[in-house]
Amino acid sequence: GKLSLALPLTEWLSAKASLGKYYRMPSFTELFGDRGMVRSNPALRPESGLKFEAGFEGQAQALNLRWQAALHANDAEDLIIFIPQAGGIVVARNVARARVMGLEVEADLQFSKSLSVAGSASWTHSEDTSGGTNDGYRLPGIPEREAWLGVRWEPGAWQLSYELTYVGANEGDRQESPGVRLPARVLH
């Protein structure tokens, strides 16, 4: 079940919120791997939990700008995450209980019919809340910061685009070992 609310505040601004339970089956890749860098784990249990989101979205038509910002919180049972193994291999595992909270913002600006810029950024806090030896540690593979910027030019029948993605440093194991922490990276 899910309860959602959308409330127009002005002509250009609205507030939205949702609260609900969710259930996610493991994906084919999580269960059976890809015969390469992702190892199979057919013992995975489905992920479930309680999810809350609240935020604002708006537009400024005079500027051709659309934007939104939202807070989110997820209290999960059997959360599925990828855990790095030796040799660069990853394997999906369940985390008995976990909490993931954060803020996401995104905007899209249309300069003209042929030129647009879009971007997004997120700040995330993840934590193992299982009660065991990993309790309180951040979850591997979930960076605290991520950002994306895209520029697109479409002067006619073709288009030219550029994308830049920033992925912040994140944990490489469940004990936050400094030697396996993945550094921040920028992808073009």
What are the distances in angstroms from CA 94 to CA 47, 83, 135, 154? 8, 10, 14, 44
Interatomic CA distance for residues 151 and 165, integer angstroms = 12
How far, CA to CA in Å, does 139 sit from each of 68, 72, 113, 148, 154? 26, 17, 42, 22, 40
As beta bridge partners, residue 99 has 75, 127
Lowest mean pLDDT among 26-30, 131-135, 163-167: 131-135
The residues pairing with 70 across neighbouring beta strands, listed in sequence order, are 55, 104
pTM (predicted TM-score): 0.83
pLDDT, one tens digit per residue, over 75-133 is 999 999 988 787 778 899 999 999 999 999 999 999 998 999 999 999 999 999 998 88
How many H-runs (helices) and E-runs (strands) does the chain carry? 1, 10
Secondary-structure breakdown of the chain: helix, strand, coil percentages, each rounded to the nearest 5: 5, 60, 35
Share of the chain above pLDDT 90, in %: 71
CA-to-CA dists, residue 165 to 82, 145, 146, angstroms? 20, 11, 8
Return the pLDDT at 72.
97
Task: Examine the pLDDT at 159 and tell me if it is beyond 80.
Answer: yes
pLDDT at position 10: 93
The pLDDT score that the predictor gives to residue 143 is 92
Kindly compute the dihedral angle of the four CA atoms of residues 156, 157, 162, 167, in this order, to the nearest 10 degrees: 130
